[in-house]
Structure 1
Amino acid sequence: MAAQPDSERSVFDVAGRRALITGASQGIGAEIASTLARAGVDLVLSDRDNGKLATHAQDLRENCGVRVATIAADLSDPQTVEGLASAALTAFDGLDILVNNAGIAILEPVRDVRAQNWDAAMAVNLRAPALLAARVGTAMADAGHGGKIINVASTAALTPLAEHYAYCASKAALLMATKVLALELGPRGVRSNAVCPTVVMTELGQKVWGDEAKAAPMLARIPAGHFAVPSDVANAVLFLASAASDMVNGLELTVDGGYTAT
């Protein structure tokens, strides 16, 4: 899809841009992919589940008229992460947007924490997005047209949650990684920001937080009175992917209904 000249584009127009989205086969990642595709963005989608990924990609091609490539990748393996960065950059001859969405949560109390689970969380939630951002961000800077890096973190990076030891730590570290990216790549036209949602009612979120008794204490801390839905996160990503956010760099954008304000 041919992009309009920058002088003729709305600051919210992202049509013709090229994006890599990780964790794109379901939940928040699938919604981000749909939102960007409806806005005219060509997509490289990655996830471990290639079957779901292929089905979603075909739907987006047929319904949105954009180019969609898929790359199956296990982000716990650093060599696979390096390969994903290289393949994604060549799929459509470059990238304009990187959305690091993939993540895992292994919940256990501090007394039961195991090195294997800690390392798994750090590998997927921190090392993988950090490496992808370094490789893709540098490539976008070298291409000379700038770009947007958007890391999907969590309010768990800003306020502690019991039994989320590794998850909170990995997401908090991702925020600092985002700031370093903003500092180093910002002068070369690449903006780096993070989105920090509260509980999001994906299929998994519904299973964990669908019980009213369990959800009540958490909901009581959200002034908006309800949890987020995937489109809330996807719309924040769309804003950060657009030229409307060009002066936004190194930001932690909370999508939490006021949870972190209380």
Structure 2
Amino acid sequence: MRLKGKHALITGGDQGIGRGIALRFAQEGADVAIGFLSNDDHAKSAVEEMRSHGVNAAALQIDVSNIGALAKFYADATRALGPLDVLVNNAGIEKRDEFLKSTEDDFDSVIAVNLKGPYFLSQLFARDLAEAKRPGKIINISSVHEELPFPNFASYCAAKGGLKMLCRNLAIELAPYGITVNNIAPGAIKTPINDKLLHDPSKLKPLLEHIPLKRMGTTDDVAGCAAFLASSDADYITGTTLVVDGGLLFNYHEQ
């Protein structure tokens, strides 16, 4: 129960990696508010599952690219749980977008969700903590593509690369307030977005050949790292990226 008594806010917490983190936090004793975009059923079931561990849980609808809505979202989370201790910026999107055919709208939507939203939600969180003189933890769910090129996904890579430098910069700026900032960079993870890949041997086999551990990761693999970074065990860690990829990043090469 490393997180007992902690209050955490997790964006994109109704499915995939975000849901895995929310459930792990609840198992570790944290009260959790999740942000979700549109799937009420997923959000409700996630809340029920978290509450089954004896913690307080809430689901709040939010589009993190809508910067004007973030203040109310944050205030609603604090009303539901109390003062927040941990922020997990997990919500993200990717779009296949060949660079020579890319549009401004496509670029803006990817940057807004993956970088601009986390920037301003982190600002709300950090201002709240600094004013109250309380320590806290920001955890960004980045990607191996903050380092690894991903042809036809230039805007996604730009956003994740920006999140890497945002993490480093905020770690320095927020250290005097006792706020740590770290990224988690997952590789290939078994989530609903990868269902087609998981059932297509012609695509899955070459991917696994790039992964030294010869398997895709699970949401539990990422959630365990998030729980560690949110706990007191990681109080002296800030400004870094924890890569969770089975060795993919340093073994990948184009065929």
Using the size of structure 2 for normalisation, the TM-score is 0.94
Please name the residue that 2:49 is paired with: 59
Confirm or deny that 1:145 pairs with 2:134. Answer: yes
Confirm or deny that 1:156 pairs with 2:158. Answer: no
Residue identity opposite 2:155 in structure 1? A
Please name the residue that 1:193 is paired with: 182
* Alpha-carbon distance in 1 for matches of 2:176, 2:148: 31
Consecutive unaligned residues of structure 1, counting only runs of 5 or more, are 1-11
Residue pairs, 1:171-186, within 5 angstroms: 171-186=160-175
Please name the residue that 1:234 is paired with: 223
Confirm or deny that 1:131 pairs with 2:120. Answer: yes
Q: CA RMSD in A?
A: 1.4
* Alpha-carbon distance in 1 for matches of 2:176, 2:194: 38
Structure 1 range deviating more: 52-61 or 163-172: 52-61
Residue identity opposite 2:222 in structure 1? V
Contact conserved, 1:141 with 1:147, CA < 8 A, in 2? no
Q: CA deviation at 1:219?
A: 2.0
* Alpha-carbon distance in 2 for matches of 1:137, 1:221: 38
Please name the residue that 2:208 is paired with: 219
* Alpha-carbon distance in 2 for matches of 1:209, 1:120: 27
* Alpha-carbon distance in 2 for matches of 1:76, 1:193: 21
Deviations 1:163-197 (A, max 9, x none): 11111111110111111211111121110000000
* Alpha-carbon distance in 1 for matches of 2:162, 2:175: 19
Report the 3-state secondary structure (helix = DSSP H, G, I; strand = E; otherwise coil) of the residue aligned with 1:225. coil
* Alpha-carbon distance in 2 for matches of 1:229, 1:103: 17
Cα pair distance change 1:102/1:137, threshold 3 Å: same
* Alpha-carbon distance in 2 for matches of 1:208, 1:253: 25
Q: CA deviation at 1:209?
A: 4.5
Consecutive unaligned residues of structure 2, counting only runs of 5 or more, are none
Please name the residue that 2:239 is paired with: 250
Q: CA deviation at 1:142?
A: 2.6
Confirm or deny that 1:70 pairs with 2:59. Answer: yes
Confirm or deny that 1:87 pairs with 2:62. Answer: no
Q: CA deviation at 1:147?
A: 0.7
Report the 3-state secondary structure (helix = DSSP H, G, I; strand = E; otherwise coil) of the residue aligned with 1:228. coil
Residue identity opposite 2:235 in structure 1? D
Structure 1 range deviating more: 247-256 or 134-143: 134-143
Report the 3-state secondary structure (helix = DSSP H, G, I; strand = E; otherwise coil) of the residue aligned with 2:105. helix
* Alpha-carbon distance in 2 for matches of 1:129, 1:87: 17
Confirm or deny that 1:20 pairs with 2:9. Answer: yes
Contact conserved, 1:98 with 1:148, CA < 8 A, in 2? yes
Report the 3-state secondary structure (helix = DSSP H, G, I; strand = E; otherwise coil) of the residue aligned with 2:249. helix
Structure 1 range deviating more: 216-225 or 235-244: 216-225
Contact conserved, 1:138 with 1:185, CA < 8 A, in 2? no
* Alpha-carbon distance in 2 for matches of 1:178, 1:73: 23
Structure 1 range deviating more: 198-207 or 48-57: 48-57
Which residue among 241, 248, 251 is the counterpart of 1:259? 248
Deviations 1:204-226 (A, max 9, x none): 11223531211233222211111
Residue identity opposite 2:127 in structure 1? T
Deviations 1:18-70 (A, max 9, x none): 00000011111111111000111001111112332122212321x11100122
Contact conserved, 1:191 with 1:246, CA < 8 A, in 2? yes
Confirm or deny that 1:210 pairs with 2:199. Answer: yes
Contact conserved, 2:26 with 2:50, CA < 8 A, in 1? yes
* Alpha-carbon distance in 1 for matches of 2:148, 2:139: 20
Structure 1 range deviating more: 18-27 or 204-213: 204-213
Residue identity opposite 1:67 in structure 2? N
Deviations 1:109-154 (A, max 9, x none): 2122111111000110001111111110221233223011000000
Residue identity opposite 1:52 in structure 2? H
